[in-house]
Structure formats: C-alpha cells, structure tokens
Amino acid sequence: MTDPLTTEAPVAELVAALTAAGQTVATAESLTAGLLAATVAGVPGASAVLRGGLIVYATDLKASLAGVSAEVLRTEGPVAATTAEQLAVGARVRCEADWGIGLTGVAGPDSQDGHPVGTVYLGLAGGDHTEVVRLKLPGDRWTIRIGAVHSAVRELLRCVPAVPATLA
C-alpha cells in the first residue's frame, strides 16, 4: 500500500531535491502535531534528509522545546507570524538541520485568540533565508491540517536550491 499522506503533495520531489542538494529538514509543529514529519517520512529514502521534529501543540512547549520567545508568546500569542518564524528557526537549530519548518494555526472547530478557523502561519528557515507565509485554509480540522502540510511541502520545495538538469 502506498502511504496515503504522500499522494497529494510533491513530497517525493521534495525528498529528491533535498537529497540532491545534500540538505536536511526538521519540523516544529503545533496544529499539525507531527503530520508534516510523518508525511516526509512516508517517502522511501527520507531518512537521508529528515532530521526530526518537535511536536509543540501546547503553548509552553513552543518555548521550552522550540525556543520561541516567552515575550512573543505573551504579546503576539501562539498563532502568529513571529511564532511560526521562531518555530522554524528552533527546529533548524535544535535538530541541526539545513532547513526548519514551523507550523502554527487554528484547525477548529472554534476560533482561537481572535484568529478564525483556517488561519495558519508557516515559517521557513534555512541559511540566511527566513520567511513566513500566512495561509487561510478552508474546511474541517483534517482538511486544514493536511492543507497546511501540503503547503509546507510546496513552499520548502520552492526554496530548496534547483537541481541541475543532469541530476534530475
């Protein structure tokens, strides 16, 4: 049976691109609770590129495990662009990876701290590159969570250095 998590996102392409670039990835996940790392791990050969991940569903773990500033959590909250950025940096640093991905948001069924259901912040950190993408995803909890994973895969694939045609 094919891993169902890997069928709708270009995760095999991401693993191939990271492998060709000699780079690794780690995650710090809140609303996806490890789903992104599990999706990457579903690709044969992922062990060459997936360093690990931090599940930081609880707000206090965002600080203690991923290194998100207590001040950011107090002033901006767990669902914020700065939080996603610091999650990505924390995953990268703590797991000693080339790339870190941070995901935080609201999967529902209720809004959180004034953020509507479907609000997701995706942080990417690698080398001197750091960015945050704000997503507004429709659907139920599963659809939002899997949409966040698919977006993270596509966004990191966009950032990984292009593979020379002779290697593709």
User: What is the pLDDT of the chain when averaged over all its residues?
Assistant: 94
Whether residue 103 contacts residue 152, with contact meaning beta carbons closer than 8 Å, is answered with yes
Instruction: Provide the CB-side half-sphere exposure for 23 (13 A, CA).
Output: 22
Residue 162: pLDDT band with limits 50, 70, 90: low
State the pLDDT at residue 168.
41
pLDDT in tens, 6-51: 888 899 999 999 999 999 999 999 999 999 999 999 999 999 999 9
- As a whole-number percent, the residues of the chain with pLDDT over 70 amount to 95
**What is the phi-psi region of residue 29: left when phi exceeds 0, alpha when psi lies from -120 to 50, beta otherwise?**
beta
Q: Tell which residue, 39, 73, 71, has the closest CA to residue 53.
A: 39
